[in-house]
Chain A
Amino acid sequence: MEEITKKYWKDYQKEIADDNFYYERSCIRQSFFPGSEAAFLKILREILGKNVIDDPNQHTCTGIGYHSDIVPFDTTMTVVARIFSLMKDHGVNNFIPSCVTSFGIFNEVVETWNHFPEEYEKTKHFLKQATGRDFEIPQNISHASDIIYKYRKELKEKMPYRLVNRHTGKPLRVVEHIGCHYSKLFAKKSEGGMEFSKVLVGMIEEWGGEVVDYPERRHCCGFGFRQYIVMANRGYSVANTKKKFESMQPYKPDFIVANCPGCAMFMDRWQYTIAEMEGTTYDDNKMGIPVLTYEEMAGFLLGFNPWDLGLQLHQVQVEPLLDKIGIPYDPKDKYVGKSGNFLGEPEKPENLITVYGK
């Protein structure tokens, strides 16, 4: 019988590497939050002085295809092996995926190889056959958010701002949302275990905020892969987010932060959808509750320009939050592109208020 060591998972600390990373970019984060990935690299390289490989050759892990069942597991395992092989080319051993789905995929694949050595042999063979490549399993696989969590204290020292309401002096009330595939696949891969992962809580509390514990905190955002990709299924996706918002509403959170790019995007967009379809918003001002990526949260506390971080890409406007903290921003800079030209403004939704101060 397998000996199971009992753990108070809340106190569980996983191993997180400290330097020489291979950064695996996320399809969703690159598309929806390119500024977040840029901010992450800037924080690691310029503030923490780490060596991070940003490989132009890297590609998707096929995770979204795998979980929507159009990519067989053998294919996914071999694609993952190719990415590990790319990492080997750069001579680093610590793998940090940006995406939570990818994080789950990499862990699932490695666990499968560990449990079923014949699958490992099969993958090695497939990769060799297809590409002539060899690969090694990384020494450490951590999610990119784990690195920020690990260095939260060092970063705090560099932060001019805190998660504190400057008018009241009270901590901001923050809803944290852990992507399911960060914590629910393998407890030992989640800082603090499956139930009460600390990766975001650690950042929020260290940087002055207060975590809101609401009943549906651990519920999935509702992405559901095929349940969103296919238009006809999106009612599933939005219904799950709605349930979370109904549950958090009485706690009046100031904002939401997620470590998964998909969750961050959905919790933002579904607020718009619910507002337009049903007229409901979950804050007092009909503006919605801002949803941030953890890189955005770290970035603006470190004093990065909100419009270089990409906060203008959120449908729920973030200015009320920036004002609460006291982070300066230039309204004229918000809709300006790389060329320095004004790009025009997005249209205004009918119900969700996007104009601040009216």
Chain B
Amino acid sequence: MKNWGFKIAEPRTLDLDKADLKLYSKIVEKVPSARRCLMCGMCSATCSAANHTNFNFRLVHHKLRMGMFESLNSELDKCMLCGKCRMLCPRGVNTRAVIYNMRIVLDNMYYKNI
């Protein structure tokens, strides 16, 4: 085997042709208010978990919306489900329910893959 000294890097581009956007609709089915999210970031600004971890609910929600599931599972574990974000959301998104249902959907996916 030849030693090349490097390997061909894989692109990290978000490819919406390959992304699974259907998974998100499962969340929306359970939590219709999720669709109203503006991505304003008020949730992550007030987040208690974000005070001592790098948890960013706005980003996690967005990633799921765009079909990027990788590592989201462990991200969600940082949330304590305190629900403070829900009290502040200017569009009345039931953020707590979004997380709760994301866990279920992602767990199902995870087990299916085993």
Determine whether A and B are in direct contact in the complex, meaning some CB atoms lie less than 8 angstroms apart.
yes
Q: Give the interface of A toward B (CB within 8 A).
A: 231-236, 238-239, 242-243, 273-274, 276-278
Closest to A276 in B: B2
Separation in Å of the B8 CB from the closest CB of chain A? 5
Q: In the bound complex, do residue B11 and residue A235 qualify as a contact, i.e. CB atoms below 8 Å apart?
A: no
Residues of A near B111 (CB, < 8 A) are none
B6 at the interface (CB under 8 A from A): yes
Q: In the bound complex, do residue A243 and residue B11 qualify as a contact, i.e. CB atoms below 8 Å apart?
A: yes
Q: In the bound complex, do residue B8 and residue A231 qualify as a contact, i.e. CB atoms below 8 Å apart?
A: no
Q: In the bound complex, do residue B2 and residue A239 qualify as a contact, i.e. CB atoms below 8 Å apart?
A: no
Residues of A near B110 (CB, < 8 A) are none
Q: In the bound complex, do residue B9 and residue A236 qualify as a contact, i.e. CB atoms below 8 Å apart?
A: yes
Interface of chain B: mostly helix, strand, loop or mixed: loop
Q: Give the interface of B toward A (CB within 8 A).
A: 2, 4-11
Q: In the bound complex, do residue B5 and residue A238 qualify as a contact, i.e. CB atoms below 8 Å apart?
A: no
Q: In the bound complex, do residue B6 and residue A232 qualify as a contact, i.e. CB atoms below 8 Å apart?
A: yes
Q: In the bound complex, do residue A235 and residue B7 qualify as a contact, i.e. CB atoms below 8 Å apart?
A: yes
Q: In the bound complex, do residue B6 and residue A233 qualify as a contact, i.e. CB atoms below 8 Å apart?
A: yes
Separation in Å of the B28 CB from the closest CB of chain A? 31
Q: In the bound complex, do residue A277 and residue B4 qualify as a contact, i.e. CB atoms below 8 Å apart?
A: yes
Distance of A245 Cα from B74 Cα, bound (Å): 36
Q: In the bound complex, do residue B5 and residue A232 qualify as a contact, i.e. CB atoms below 8 Å apart?
A: yes
Q: In the bound complex, do residue B11 and residue A273 qualify as a contact, i.e. CB atoms below 8 Å apart?
A: no
Q: In the bound complex, do residue B4 and residue A273 qualify as a contact, i.e. CB atoms below 8 Å apart?
A: yes
Residues of A near B2 (CB, < 8 A) are 276
Separation in Å of the B57 CB from the closest CB of chain A? 32
Residues of A near B11 (CB, < 8 A) are 239, 243
Distance of A230 Cα from B6 Cα, bound (Å): 10
Residues of A near B8 (CB, < 8 A) are 235, 238-239, 242, 273-274, 277-278
Distance of A234 Cα from B2 Cα, bound (Å): 15
Distance of A243 Cα from B10 Cα, bound (Å): 10
Contact sample, A vs B, 17 pairs, CB 8 Å cutoff: A231-B5, A231-B6, A232-B5, A232-B6, A233-B6, A235-B6, A235-B8, A236-B9, A238-B6, A238-B8, A239-B8, A239-B9, A242-B8, A273-B8, A274-B8, A277-B4, A277-B7
Separation in Å of the A318 CB from the closest CB of chain B? 24
Closest to B13 in A: A243
Q: In the bound complex, do residue B5 and residue A239 qualify as a contact, i.e. CB atoms below 8 Å apart?
A: no
Closest to A238 in B: B8
Distance of A236 Cα from B7 Cα, bound (Å): 9
Distance of A273 Cα from B2 Cα, bound (Å): 11
Distance of A236 Cα from B8 Cα, bound (Å): 7
Residues of A near B5 (CB, < 8 A) are 231-232, 234
Distance of A320 Cα from B7 Cα, bound (Å): 30
Distance of A233 Cα from B7 Cα, bound (Å): 9
Closest to A228 in B: B6
Distance of A50 Cα from B2 Cα, bound (Å): 48
Closest to B2 in A: A276
Given known contacts A234-B4, A273-B8, A278-B8, what 19 new A-B pairs fall within 8 Å (CB)?
A232-B5, A232-B6, A233-B6, A234-B6, A235-B6, A235-B8, A235-B9, A238-B6, A238-B8, A238-B9, A239-B8, A239-B10, A239-B11, A242-B8, A243-B11, A273-B4, A276-B2, A277-B4, A277-B7
